[in-house]
Amino acid sequence: MKRTVIMALLSLLVLSGCTISQDKEDKVIKVGASPTPHSLILEVAKAEVEKLGYTLEIVEFTDYILPNTALDAGDLDANYFQHVPYLTKFNSEKGTKLSSVLAVHFEPLGLYPGKSIDLEGLKVGGATVAIPNDPTNEARALRLLADNGYITLKGAADANVTPLDIDQNPYSLQFVEMEAALLAQTLVDVNFAIINGNYALGANIADKVLLTEDKDSIAAQTFANIIVVQTGKENAEKTKILIQALTSEAVKKFIEETFYPTVISVLE
């Protein structure tokens, strides 16, 4: 009889330990993110998450594939590194089921000086401008120049365009297409480069920007960086906690005071 009671108590203790462990695990929100500025923004959100009774764990990724595959596999609760067009394409090509729940910030493309020091260098004739070679960012780069009157483009305002779609090029700008991550390194060889905000931050040249995409531009509305979760978990408790933390005044203020104009908050 005594042995039966002891075994029952031990079983209860083991079960209680598992429950405690599971409950503790359930209070951890694991988010995959790019190092800059995403992880830094999440670091500020940690305190807000803790106020709501949870712990935020940040897992850094330096590529754009693993954060989505890890989330789809259930190894993460959310991720923060991409925009909606990328997510849509990824879901279509990889068969993942992931959904956007919050737009946090926009990383405008900016025009940065290389061998030329100011915007007048665009007008001297034949200036070389390095631009991203991926379709989305190349189109954004060319539209930045078109919006500011340096070229005109054929086609619809939201279409992907290349230098072949330039209608008028009054200053005979010469375009050099290359990987977005390499643009900052090529500034010594070209007059200008149009660079993504995160790469400008990483190269410590953010304060040298001459032109940027506007917060109210089509690009800002389309390419805001988002919080992504597994489809079906848009209204899960952890998702709600993460959204509440990221939309706090502390996070908004941090983005505006730390990164502007290379990172712009789009939080309501």
Locate the domains of the chain by residue range. Answer: 25-107+223-265, 110-213
User: What is the model's pTM?
Assistant: 0.75
Rounded CA separation 144/156 (Å): 15
Answer positive or negative: Cα dihedral of 161, 164, 166, 170.
positive
- Distance between CA atoms of residues 27 and 84, nearest Å: 28
Instruction: Note the pLDDT of residue 221.
Output: 83
Question: Under CATH, domain 25-107+223-265 is a member of which superfamily?
Answer: Periplasmic binding protein-like II (3.40.190.10)
The reply to whether 25-107+223-265 and 110-213 are identical in fold is yes
Please state the rounded mean pLDDT for residues 43-71: 97
Position 20 confidence tier, pLDDT thresholds 50, 70, 90: very low
- Phi, psi angle pair for 263, to nearest 5°: -135, 125
Terminal Cα distance for the chain, rounded: 64
Superfamily, domain 110-213 = Periplasmic binding protein-like II (3.40.190.10)
Q: What distance in Å separates the CA atoms of residue 225 and residue 37, rounded to the nearest whole number? A: 10
Check if the beta carbon of residue 85 is closer than 8 Å to that of residue 225.
no
Q: Encoding tokens for residue 49? A: 């998450």
3-state DSSP percent of the chain in helix, strand and coil, to 5: 45, 20, 35
Residue 110 has pLDDT above 90, yes or no: yes
pLDDT band of residue 216 (cuts 50, 70, 90) is confident
Q: What gap in Å lies between CA 135 and CA 132, rounded to an integer?
A: 8
State which amino acid sits at residue 38: H
Can you give the pLDDT at residue 103?
A: 96
Please check the confidence at residue 97 and state whether its pLDDT lies above 70: yes
Q: Is the confidence at residue 14, as pLDDT, over 90?
A: no
Mean pLDDT of the chain: 90
